[in-house]
Amino acid sequence: MMNRINPDGSRPAADETYNAYMSMKKNVRSANGNWISEGPAEIPAPGPAGYEGLGRLNVVAFHPTDANKIYVGAPAGGMWQSSDGGQTWESHTDTLPTLGVSAIIIDKNNPDLIFIGTGDRDAGDAPGMGVFISTDGGQTWSISNTGMGNKTVGKLLQHPSNTQILLAATNGGVYRSTDGGANWTLSKSGNFKDIVFKPGDPNIVYAAADANFFRSTDNGVNFTQITSGLTGGQRGTIAVTAANASYVYFLVSGNDSGFKGLYRSTNSG
Q: pLDDT tens for residues 148-189?
A: 999 999 999 999 999 999 999 999 999 999 999 999 999 999
Structural domains of the chain in order of their starting residue, each with its CATH number: 53-190 (2.130.10.10)
**C-alpha distances in Å from residue 60, one per residue of 102, 139, 178, 228:** 9, 18, 24, 32
How much is the average pLDDT of 44-62? 74
The pLDDT assigned to 50 comes to 56
The answer to whether residue 53 scores a pLDDT higher than 60 is no
Length of the chain equals: 269
**How crowded is residue 177: how many other Cβ atoms within 10 Å of its Cβ?**
23
Residue 5: per-residue pLDDT = 86
Rounded CA-CA distance 260/266 in Å is 20
pLDDT digits (tens, 9 = 90+) for 200-237: 999 999 999 999 999 999 999 999 999 999 998 999 99
pLDDT at 17: 79
The answer, yes or no, to whether the previous bond of 40 is cis (omega within 30 of 0) is yes
Instruction: Kindly report, residue by residue over 124-153, the tens digit of the pLDDT.
Output: 889 999 999 999 999 999 999 999 999 999
Hey, how many other C-beta atoms are within 10 angstroms of the C-beta on 11?
A: 11
Q: Which of 30-39, 42-51, 240-249 has the lowest mean pLDDT?
A: 42-51
* pLDDT per residue as tens digits for the range 231-259: 989 999 999 999 999 999 999 999 888 99
d(CA 206, CA 241): 13
Q: What pTM value is reported for the model?
A: 0.85
Out of 9-23, 66-80, 108-122, 159-173, least confident range: 9-23
Mean pLDDT confidence for 16-43: 71
Strands 90-91 and 78-82: antiparallel
Helix (H) or strand (E) holding 21: helix 16-23
Task: Tell me the mean pLDDT in the region 34-62.
Answer: 72
Distance CA 255, CA 253 (A): 7
pLDDT of amino acid 48: 62
The answer to whether 187 and 220 are in contact (CB under 8 A) is yes
The average confidence (pLDDT) of the chain is 91
- Burial, 168: exposed, middle or buried (Cβ in 10 Å; 0-12, 13-18, 19+)? buried
